[in-house]
């Protein structure tokens, strides 16, 4: 007889784009990986009773609810997964932590440093009782990114000099694209900067094992007014009557100095026509370089500068071998993974950390550090000065 594993009751708040991909992850993680606890998709929560009930059926949640406070109060919920816009992260996550629930929270952690500080403080108190937190910087869980990190940690790039990072999308290039909540500062905190710039801040710090020490930034909003949205969930929105102001940046660029001496250039935009979800990272070190593009996410390019120039070049490594992190849970070599797998790996690593009673990464303290970089870029752009990131 197979041993019955303990369960982890999950309550998810929000059911749009992020809710859909998180649901997929909660449903598949224990079916493909050996986990110490079996996730149980207890309840999904949203304000519209009919729609959230439909989402529960479609995504495989046992029940639906319309008030997140009811979710947090339930004894059968051990973990709260926050998939709502940023303006509600702090309130929901802090209440959940105070109720003794583990929290997985979508990125960026909050809409301001003050909120992120309160969340990190609540997480530190909760950690003393064994309650854990994680922030959804999912791209860390792409196998090619894990390989990039390993190459740097193994010293294969030598001393790091350049970090070049871009996150390029084009879903706002059309000036008539409606005002989704992501264009409203009071809901989203910032625009391209926090939504996608946060990912490359986290990724480059993760791969290099270093931290950004100071930044000089520039934000720009190309289209200042758009049709108001009638129905806005995630990236898609339907135009309603009238127009309204865009209150966030369309693009964010910044230069960065890393504590270990490397220098970096960063760019995040939703106006790069033709680029759909291009996360491009190139790192140059004294012994070699690596390059990654999420639009070819199963591949990492590696240049070994210790080889003779006549043979060196960039090697195209297809990161689909069973020895590559997480790959053995899936398909035979060469069959490749997609966007959703990063979310499944996130659940795998989170549930394993809970099983081992260790801290998952990145946790709320890491999320706060990224928030400080975001705020420094914004202040730098407003004041046209370099800004240090407080440690
Ligand atoms: C929208 O730009 C978005 O959905 C981000 O919010 C996600 O974090 C990213 O994974 C894809 O793009």
Which range, of 40-49, 204-213, 235-244, 314-323, averages the lowest pLDDT? Answer: 235-244
pLDDT at 221 over 60: yes
Sequence-distant contacts of 54-57: CB under 8 A, at least 24 apart: 55/15, 55/19, 56/15
pLDDT in tens, 254-295: 999 999 999 999 999 999 999 999 999 999 999 999 999 999
Say if ligand 1 is within 6 A of residue 180 CB. no
HEC sequence for 177-246: CCECHHHCHHHHCCCHHHHHHHHHHHHHHHHHCCCEEEEEEEEECCCCEEEEEEEEECCEEEEEEEEEEC
pLDDT in tens, 207-219: 999 999 999 999 9
Q: What is the pLDDT of residue 50?
A: 98
Say if ligand 1 is within 6 A of residue 80 CB. no
Sorting pLDDT into bands at 50, 70 and 90, what band is 240? confident
Q: What is the pLDDT of residue 229?
A: 85
pLDDT in tens, 335-387: 999 999 999 999 999 999 999 999 999 999 999 999 999 999 999 999 999 99
Question: What does pLDDT average to over the chain?
Answer: 96
Report the alpha-carbon distance of residue 40 to residue 42 in Å, rounded: 6
Q: What is the pLDDT of residue 3?
A: 65
Sorting pLDDT into bands at 50, 70 and 90, what band is 233? low
Say if ligand 1 is within 6 A of residue 269 CB. no
CA of residue 251 to ligand 1 center, whole Å: 14
Which residue is listed with tokens 């960065």?
Answer: 256
Identify the CA nearest to 147 among candidates 380, 274, 337: 337
* Residue 144 backbone phi and psi in degrees, to 5: -65, -30
Say if ligand 1 is within 6 A of residue 169 CB. yes
Q: What is the pLDDT of residue 238?
A: 74
Sorting pLDDT into bands at 50, 70 and 90, what band is 80? very high
Q: What is the pLDDT of residue 305?
A: 98
Q: What is the pLDDT of residue 263?
A: 99
pLDDT at 234 over 70: no
Q: How much is the average pLDDT of 74-87?
A: 98
Q: What is the torsional sign of CA 80, 341, 271, 196?
A: positive
Q: What is the pLDDT of residue 236?
A: 64
Ligand 1: atom nearest CA of 171 is: 2
CA of residue 141 to ligand 1 center, whole Å: 15
pLDDT at 239 over 90: no
Other beta carbons within 10 Å of 357: 9
Tokens of 293: 């593009």
Residues 221, 4 contacting (CB under 8 angstroms): no
Tokens of 108: 């960026």
Say if ligand 1 is within 6 A of residue 378 CB. no
Ligand 1: atom nearest CA of 106 is: 8
Say if ligand 1 is within 6 A of residue 235 CB. yes
Mind listing the domains of the chain with CATH numbers? 7-138 (3.40.50.720), 143-388 (3.30.360.10)
Say if ligand 1 is within 6 A of residue 195 CB. yes
SS3 262: coil
CA of residue 203 to ligand 1 center, whole Å: 14
Ligand 1: atom nearest CA of 195 is: 6
* DSSP letters spanning 98-160: HTT-EEEEPSSS-SSHHHHHHHHHHHHHHHTTT--EEE--GGGGSHHHHHHHHHHHTTTT-SE
Identify the CA nearest to 138 among candidates 107, 93, 162, 179: 107
Q: What is the ipTM score, two decimals?
A: 0.96
pLDDT in tens, 98-152: 999 999 999 999 999 999 999 999 999 999 999 999 999 999 999 999 999 999 9
């Amino acid at each position: 007889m197979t041993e019955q594993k303990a369960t982890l009751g999950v309550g998810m708040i929000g059911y749009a784009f992020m809710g859909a991909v998180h649901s997929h992850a909660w449903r598949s993680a224990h079916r493909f990986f050996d986990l110490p606890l079996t996730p149980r998709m207890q309840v999904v929560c949203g304000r519209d009773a009919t729609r959230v009930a439909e989402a529960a059926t479609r995504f495989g949640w046992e029940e639906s609810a319309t008030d997140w406070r009811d979710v947090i109060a339930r004894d059968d919920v051990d973990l709260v997964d926050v998939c709502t816009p940023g303006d509600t992260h702090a309130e929901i996550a802090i209440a959940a932590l105070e109720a003794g629930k583990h929290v997985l929270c979508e990125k960026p952690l909050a809409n301001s440093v003050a909120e992120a500080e309160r969340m990190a403080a609540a997480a530190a108190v909760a950690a003393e009782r064994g309650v854990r937190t994680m922030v959804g910087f999912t791209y860390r869980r792409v196998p090619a990114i894990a390989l990039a990190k390993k190459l740097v940690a193994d010293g294969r790039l030598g001393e790091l000099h350049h970090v070049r990072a871009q996150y390029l999308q084009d879903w706002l290039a059309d000036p008539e694209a409606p005002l989704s909540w992501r264009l409203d500062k009071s809901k989203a905190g910032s625009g391209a900067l926090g939504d996608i710039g946060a990912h490359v801040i986290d990724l480059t710090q993760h791969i290099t094992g270093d931290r950004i020490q100071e930044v000089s930034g520039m934000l720009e909003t190309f289209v200042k007014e758009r049709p108001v949205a009638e129905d806005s969930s995630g990236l898609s929105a339907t135009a309603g009557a009238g127009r309204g102001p865009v209150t966030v940046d369309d693009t964010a660029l910044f230069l960065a100095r890393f504590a270990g001496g490397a220098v970096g250039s960063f760019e995040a935009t939703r106006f790069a026509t033709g680029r759909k979800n291009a996360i491009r990272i190139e790192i140059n070190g004294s012994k070699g370089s690596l390059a990654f593009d999420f639009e070819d996410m199963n591949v990492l390019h590696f240049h070994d500068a210790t080889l003779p120039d006549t043979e060196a070049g960039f090697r195209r490594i297809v990161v689909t071998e069973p020895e590559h992190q997480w790959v053995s849970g899936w398909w035979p070599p060469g069959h490749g993974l997609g966007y959703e797998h990063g979310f499944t790996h996130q659940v795998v690593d989170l549930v394993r950390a809970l099983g081992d009673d260790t801290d998952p990464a990145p946790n709320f303290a890491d999320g706060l550090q990224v928030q400080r970089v975001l705020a420094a870029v914004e202040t730098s752009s407003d004041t046209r000065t370099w800004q240090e990131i407080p440690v």
